[in-house]
Structure 1
């Protein structure tokens, strides 16, 4: 099953909404699921025009569950800040030879 397939898997119909973004049956994380599908065709718009999607998972224990994309726990890469030129120590004039 391709996570970004336009065709939903049959098991999503029996999925239950999970609290804590993990399997409600065995508490396994989404990264250990046997299959995943993201419903990218039906986003929900929240504040500041941001979108969230339903993410469906078929756990190793056989339980199908889903959670909102904004409920997912952050990974190590989400902690990185975005580049802000005002906070940079880089002197662009010196870097590009404009003295």
Structure 2
């Protein structure tokens, strides 16, 4: 699954907006999602002129949800250690 393909996958059509950055059904984090797609074709500009995108998640419980990239909590961002 390529999260950056330009055409949205079919499963994103049934997504619901999650107002907290987790699955609205089972409350799993975005890190536990089975599939991810980022809608980078339609960025939205915030009041301070920063871009935000819709992030779509296919949860392991079968729910599909989306949230704004700007709503992502810092703990959901993983870093790769540099040796």
**Shorter-chain TM-score tier:** 0.7 to 0.9
Larger relative contact order (CA 8 Å, sep ≥ 6) = 2
The runs of at least 4 consecutive aligned structure 1 residues that moved more than 2 Å come to: 75-78
Normalized per residue, the structure richer in strand is: 2
Larger radius of gyration: 1
1:49 Cα deviation from its structure 2 partner:
1.4
Q: TM-score, normalised by structure 2?
A: 0.87
How far, CA to CA, are the matches of 2:12 and 2:35 in structure 1?
Answer: 11
How many aligned positions are there?
78
Q: Does 1:65 align with 2:70?
A: no
The root-mean-square deviation of aligned C-alpha atoms, in Å, is 1.7
Unaligned runs of 5+ in 2: 79-83
CA contact (8 A) 2:2 2:37 kept: yes
Unaligned runs of 5+ in 1: 79-99
